[in-house]
């Protein structure tokens, strides 16, 4: 199923039960342009979320995170969440909801040898792995795959067989991302695997707060409380897993955003400074030159 508009939950007569009943029975794709949309509570199936323009906010496990272009989020089956679009800029949101049986068969095929699948066909209906519900960045492979998927939808419309092929490869990609997360979680300084996994989930919460709110300069006390970690534990474990401290990660995010603004807008340097969460233009210029080897003006001239 394919939708090019988000549902209006406030519309008189909107049947939420009927709308959401479709989600576990079909593969569903939303490719919608909207300046307003919300869902206060949805219990979804395994799904892939991104935006092509603008930003969309999600509430997951009492934490709020923003998805912006170049990022994606995977939500697990039966995860309760909220989503919200509200701003001056129109948002092009793109979501894929995977039918349970389809997702299980693809993921099991990926995890099991081809010969093993012939001997254990029933495994195709087993439970999908629990994905780490954290923001991830696009790479070239995902960018090209989504570009082909969207182009096919816009040029040829929704064809269930064609989309199933695209979604098979998308799920296989998401499983590789999941495996990278599991590998990264091994860097958590703990002995038990279950402890490593739980601490990694909490570090992902901290990372997502930095990504979502870097312009607001979230403090260590707020981040540590949100992630249910002490400040020393947050700093130590974050450095072990992501190879930088939370503060260093925050500065890097600000400077990357500054580089995008310098490249794609004509905003003056002092505007870029506060738009990236810096309070002092001189300090911003020094940090930018340290990171990129050029002043903001020199960087803009070169690009």
Would you state the pLDDT for residue 121? 42
Element (H, E) at 171: helix 160-185
Q: What are phi and psi of 100, to 5 degrees?
A: -55, -50
pTM for the whole thing? 0.88
Would you state the pLDDT for residue 11? 72
Q: How far apart are CA 179 and CA 131, in angstroms?
A: 9
290 CB contacts (<8 Å, ≥6 apart)?
A: none
How many CB atoms lie under 10 A from the CB of residue 21?
Answer: 10
Would you state the pLDDT for residue 231? 97
Would you state the pLDDT for residue 117? 45
- pLDDT at residue 205 tops 50: yes
Q: How confident is the model over 80-114, as pLDDT tens digits?
A: 999 999 777 889 999 999 998 899 888 888 777 55
Higher pLDDT, 109 or 300: 300
- pLDDT at residue 124 tops 50: no
What average pLDDT does the chain have?
A: 89
Would you state the pLDDT for residue 113? 57
Q: How confident is the model over 251-261, as pLDDT tens digits?
A: 999 999 999 99
Taking the CA atoms of residue 217, residue 222, residue 228 and residue 234 in that order, the dihedral angle to the nearest 10 degrees is 50
Q: How far apart are CA 88 and CA 173, in angstroms?
A: 33
| 265 SS3 class | coil
Q: Name the percent of the chain in helix, strand, coil, to the closest 5.
A: 55, 20, 25
DSSP secondary structure string, 112-162? Answer: S-HHHHHH-GGGGGSPPP------EE--HHHHHHHHHHHHHHHHH---HHH
Contact 259, 251 (CB under 8 A): no
Higher pLDDT, 303 or 66: 66
- pLDDT at residue 72 tops 60: yes
Contact 246, 220 (CB under 8 A): yes
Would you state the pLDDT for residue 122? 44
Q: What are phi and psi of 44, to 5 degrees?
A: -100, 180
Q: How confident is the model over 125-173, as pLDDT tens digits?
A: 456 688 999 999 999 999 999 999 999 999 988 898 999 999 999 999 9
């Amino acid at each position: 199923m394919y939708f090019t508009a988000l549902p209006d939950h406030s519309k008189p007569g909107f049947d939420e039960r009927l709308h959401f009943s479709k989600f576990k029975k079909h593969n569903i794709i939303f490719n919608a342009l909207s300046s307003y949309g919300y869902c206060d509570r949805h219990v979804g199936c395994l799904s892939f979320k991104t935006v092509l323009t603008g930003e969309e906010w999600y509430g997951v496990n009492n934490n709020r995170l923003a998805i912006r272009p170049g990022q994606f989020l995977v939500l697990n089956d039966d995860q309760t969440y909220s989503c919200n679009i509200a701003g001056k800029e129109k948002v092009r949101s793109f979501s894929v909801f995977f039918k349970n049986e389809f997702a299980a068969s693809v993921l099991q095929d990926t995890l099991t040898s081809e010969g093993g699948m012939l001997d254990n066909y029933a495994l195709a209906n087993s439970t999908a792995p629990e994905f780490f519900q954290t923001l991830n960045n696009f790479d070239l492979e995902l960018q090209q795959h989504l570009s082909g998927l969207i182009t096919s939808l816009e040029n040829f419309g929704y064809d269930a067989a064609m989309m199933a092929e695209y979604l098979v490869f998308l799920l296989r990609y998401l499983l590789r991302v999941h495996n990278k997360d599991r590998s990264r979680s091994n860097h958590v300084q703990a002995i038990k695997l279950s402890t490593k996994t739980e601490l990694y989930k909490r570090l992902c919460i901290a990372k997502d707060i930095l990504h979502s709110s870097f312009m607001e300069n979230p403090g260590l006390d707020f981040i540590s409380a949100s992630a249910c970690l002490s400040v020393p534990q947050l700093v130590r474990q974050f450095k072990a897993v992501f190879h930088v401290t939370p503060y260093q990660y925050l500065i890097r995010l600000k400077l990357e955003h500054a580089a995008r603004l310098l490249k794609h807008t004509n905003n003056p340097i002092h505007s870029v400074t506060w738009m990236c969460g810096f309070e002092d233009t001189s300090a911003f210029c020094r940090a930018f030159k340290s990171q990129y080897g050029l002043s903001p003006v020199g960087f803009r001239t070169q690009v």
